[in-house]
Structure 1
Amino acid sequence: MPPFDVPEGDPFGPHNLPYGVFSPPGSSERTVGVRLGDHVLDAGAAAHALGSPYASLLARPTLNPLLAAGRTAWSDVRRAITAWVTVPAHRETVEPLFHPLSEVTLHLPFEVADYVDFYASENHARNVGRMFRPDAPDSLTPNWKHLPIGYHGRSGTVVVSGTDVVRPAGQRKAPTDPAPVFGPSVRLDIEAEVGFVVGVPSEMGRPVPLGAFRDHVFGLCLLNDWSARDIQAWEYVPLGPFLGKSFATSVSAWITPLDALDAARVAPPERTHELLPYLDDSDEEPGGYDLRMSVSINGHVVAEPPFSTMYWTAAQQLAHMTVNGASLRTGDLYGSGTVSGPTERERGSLLELTWNGRDPLELPDGKRTFLEDGDVVTLSAWAPGPDGVRVGLGEVTGRIVPAS
């Protein structure tokens, strides 16, 4: 089907227009692309052909120059691209610049500066607390309702969807083992998350307030924070995650601009504790997003986590991340933390879905407690869009290969 003739209601129609970086068929050169249906528009070539003042931002091998250009440029470019793919007068010029999605090579869409991961789902945090602190008076840690808990990850191992994930090796020690052993992880897990991509940097020493969230954050994508639970359990006391997390984090090849998700904005869950002023969003625009996620293993759906249940919003996470004066850089990525809802079907990790391995999942190809070599995990999602149409998010997929 020609790219201009996207069926009405397609989740990747002109109301969406996510950004990525691709190589055309038969070429190794990378350039910015915009997805429309099952095609990719060479955005740089289109900008040049139509005399856009933003051609220099789009004819690049990464999204970083566009990310750094700021909110006014983001809006201008989005309006221009919407016109290019919808106005009949542009069709003759633009249509030859589309490529079938199935024929291009997709790349990591931006150069990742820093990577931070949060822990923002109350359902997930309570499940983990019940598993590992069953005798505690509260399944949440004392600080959880007062600040967004997070840790700094490794930006160099953020990979694009479709990249194989090598089973990590490290130290592990079961509670009954007399000493730790070294070897491949035997409790390899997923974490279904949403990642937020920073565009405009900030000055060191100047916190970013809640109201400046959309001045700094360009868009979002799906994110799988792969986790080696056995390595993590042995190493993370008293400090935070390290080798159990740093081996790989997968992100979508498509970054959905925040402007495409205005219809999906929702209020977060009711807060049960008074927040300090820098986190108090009671007078801000709704900070949550109604994203309907799906997790599948080898093509079989195992969970459908709802992002609307997340206790801490992306704006609060950004404010907390910078309140000590830490600066933002173009290309910073921060993850929401595992997305889990209140029911068993809505849990975003195998740790929760199998209750730490106690209750194996029944899949068509056998039982699973944690991931086996050869398993393919796919995260997908959609959000409510304008006039009832859905906004599709680019999927994240990864296949587990044996430890090297």
Structure 2
Amino acid sequence: MAPLKSWLQIDPKSHFSIHNIPFGVISTSANSEPHPAIAIGDYALDLLVFTQENGFKALSAIQPHQAVFSQSTLNPFAALGRPVHKIVREYLQSVFLENGPFPEVLEKNEQLQKKALIPVGQYKTHLPMRINDYTDFYAGLNHAYNVGVLFRGPANALQPNYKHLPVGYHGRAGSVVVSDTPIRRPNGQILTNPTADPKVPIFSACKKLDIELELGCFVTKDSALGQPVGIKDAPQHLFGVVLMNDWSARDIQAWEYVPLGPFNSKNFGTTISAWVVLMDALEPFAIDGLKNDTSLLPYLDEKDRKSHYAIDLEVKLQTASGKTSTISKTSAKNLLFSFPQMLAHHTVGGCPFSVGDLMGSGTISGESKAEKGCLLEQTDNGKTEIELESGEKRKFLEDGDVVTITGVCGGEDGAYVGFGECVGRIEPALHFDA
């Protein structure tokens, strides 16, 4: 199918083609309060202004709900459900469509264009959702195997439960931040000599600060305490997907994680991209994930439904010198479990969900070194160094390093569906006086 064409000039390589229409939250010089918008090319369409100027006049279904576009988060819009998301997205596509059905709404309305189409650099993005709860999963099979080999050897790399269920743990929703928010290096307890007896930690700034290349998925429907979400219905409970960097303090984690799992090593910051790509925008790119050679229990069986997506992922590292290197390229197909399976498993015991709750995929790695989604894997836990394109070397992140994750679907100019960037800069740790 030929790409849709817009009357708005859009770079053919833009992540935000007319095929996408991702939703986010912005503020502008004209309105400093955060409010919803969509990304289109090199602009944000301010949905508050668009609504106030009767931009939805040709879409009667949304008119009783237009107040959702004056709120500070996307939660009220998300709560309207996927059928409404679909018609709003399709309507906005038609508004930007060349020779579309509603040219009077925006194409021929220069006054509204000047007020509602905000160029990049003239708006600020904010956290798109109010996140009440956050769960991080471990669905990247290659990552789980590689890390298991590092700490337990090949024979015991994967725990016996791994292929039977989506392994996960509860994260810290309060430290989820939007792209371009600085990340401060954490302090904590570190065991510098694991072979010592007795084992006594020191208090120190993290020396093994790492990235984790992930996807995040937002929930769009509440579920009640004690009421599981069935695998068949789970897709209707999903709003959209973002890029995620779940920063990790590997040395703090190594000391603290037994027996209950990560704590301070993971709760200091999780960065997500600013624009939420709706599930309907991803549907043309639906694929199978990694093949599971284990028979699943019925409550997790999707019966060959394609619930993964062909998202090309890339990680770049810019050092304090200003030089940038690509350190990983992989695909979102490298997940063993899908977001519907994660939700079905998370609720099977009766755990409730709220609109805006966030699920992380876990680190996404391919099989080759160039496809590994964290430095822990790439450097064998600091035993080796990776050489950057600038000639600089890294075992783990240093202060001043800037990590940028990108992700995009599609291979045809004018039809890309992408996420923009997920960016974080490492700031020095706080100093504690003795």
What TM-score bracket applies, with the shorter chain setting the length? over 0.9
* Aligned CA distance change for structure 1 residues 388 and 208 (closer, same or farther; 3 Å): farther
2:361 equivalent among 323, 336, 339: 336
* Structure whose residues are more often helix by fraction: 1
Cα distance, 1:57 vs structure 2: 1.4
- 2:416 and 2:85 map into 1 onto residues whose CA distance is 22
Say if 2:313 is the partner of 1:293: yes
**Partner amino acid for 1:402?**
P
Say if 2:272 is the partner of 1:254: no
- 1:207 and 1:322 map into 2 onto residues whose CA distance is 5
CA contact (8 A) 1:71 1:214 kept: no
**Partner amino acid for 2:84?**
A
- 2:384 and 2:365 map into 1 onto residues whose CA distance is 17
Cα distance, 1:89 vs structure 2: 2.7
2:298 equivalent among 277, 291, 302: 277
Which residue number in structure 1 is paired with residue 265 of structure 2?
A: 244
Describe the superposition over 1:151-205 as per-residue Cα deviations: whole angstroms up to 9, x where unpaired: 0000000000000000001101031354100111000000000000111111111
CA contact (8 A) 2:214 2:246 kept: yes
Cα distance, 1:18 vs structure 2: 0.6
Say if 2:9 is the partner of 1:5: yes
Which residue number in structure 1 is paired with residue 179 of structure 2?
A: 161
Say if 2:74 is the partner of 1:55: no
Cα distance, 1:309 vs structure 2: 1.7
Secondary structure of the 1:304 match is strand
When structure 1 is superposed on structure 2, of 379-388 and 9-18 the one drifting more is: 379-388
- 2:136 and 2:91 map into 1 onto residues whose CA distance is 34
- 1:224 and 1:290 map into 2 onto residues whose CA distance is 19
CA contact (8 A) 2:17 2:416 kept: no
Secondary structure of the 1:125 match is helix
- 1:287 and 1:35 map into 2 onto residues whose CA distance is 24
Say if 2:34 is the partner of 1:15: no
**Partner amino acid for 2:289?**
P
* Aligned CA distance change for structure 1 residues 235 and 3 (closer, same or farther; 3 Å): farther
- 2:424 and 2:351 map into 1 onto residues whose CA distance is 32
Superposition RMSD on alpha carbons, in Å?
1.8
Aligned pairs for 1:18-167 (under 5 A) are 18-25=22-29, 27-49=31-53, 50=55, 51=57, 53=63, 54-86=65-97, 87=100, 88-90=103-105, 91-93=107-109, 94-96=112-114, 97-134=116-153, 137-167=155-185
* Aligned CA distance change for structure 1 residues 286 and 179 (closer, same or farther; 3 Å): same
CA contact (8 A) 2:221 2:354 kept: yes
Which residue number in structure 1 is paired with residue 211 of structure 2?
A: 190
Secondary structure of the 2:281 match is helix
- 1:207 and 1:66 map into 2 onto residues whose CA distance is 23
Secondary structure of the 1:196 match is strand
Cα distance, 1:379 vs structure 2: 0.4
* Aligned CA distance change for structure 1 residues 370 and 322 (closer, same or farther; 3 Å): same
CA contact (8 A) 1:68 1:200 kept: yes
When structure 1 is superposed on structure 2, of 255-264 and 44-53 the one drifting more is: 44-53
2:383 equivalent among 351, 354, 358: 358
Secondary structure of the 1:221 match is strand
Cα distance, 1:213 vs structure 2: 2.3
Cα distance, 1:92 vs structure 2: 3.1
**Partner amino acid for 1:99?**
I
**Partner amino acid for 1:400?**
I
Compute the TM-score of the two structures, normalised by the length of structure 2. 0.89
Cα distance, 1:60 vs structure 2: 1.7
- 1:11 and 1:377 map into 2 onto residues whose CA distance is 19
Cα distance, 1:385 vs structure 2: 7.3
**Partner amino acid for 1:41?**
L
* Aligned CA distance change for structure 1 residues 386 and 326 (closer, same or farther; 3 Å): farther
Secondary structure of the 1:259 match is helix
Describe the superposition over 1:72-104 as per-residue Cα deviations: whole angstroms up to 9, x where unpaired: 211121122112222333213342210011111
- 2:260 and 2:425 map into 1 onto residues whose CA distance is 29
Moved over 6 A (4+): 385-388
* Aligned CA distance change for structure 1 residues 117 and 72 (closer, same or farther; 3 Å): same
Cα distance, 1:27 vs structure 2: 4.1
CA contact (8 A) 1:255 1:394 kept: no
- 1:124 and 1:388 map into 2 onto residues whose CA distance is 33
When structure 1 is superposed on structure 2, of 43-52 and 326-335 the one drifting more is: 43-52
Secondary structure of the 1:317 match is helix
**Partner amino acid for 1:61?**
S
CA contact (8 A) 1:221 1:394 kept: no
Cα distance, 1:3 vs structure 2: 8.0
**Partner amino acid for 2:312?**
R
Describe the superposition over 1:265-305 as per-residue Cα deviations: whole angstroms up to 9, x where unpaired: 0012222111101011125x211111110011103110012
CA contact (8 A) 1:117 1:335 kept: yes
CA contact (8 A) 1:385 1:391 kept: no
* Aligned CA distance change for structure 1 residues 111 and 137 (closer, same or farther; 3 Å): same
When structure 1 is superposed on structure 2, of 219-228 and 63-72 the one drifting more is: 63-72
Describe the superposition over 1:356-383 as per-residue Cα deviations: whole angstroms up to 9, x where unpaired: 1112111216210000000000000101
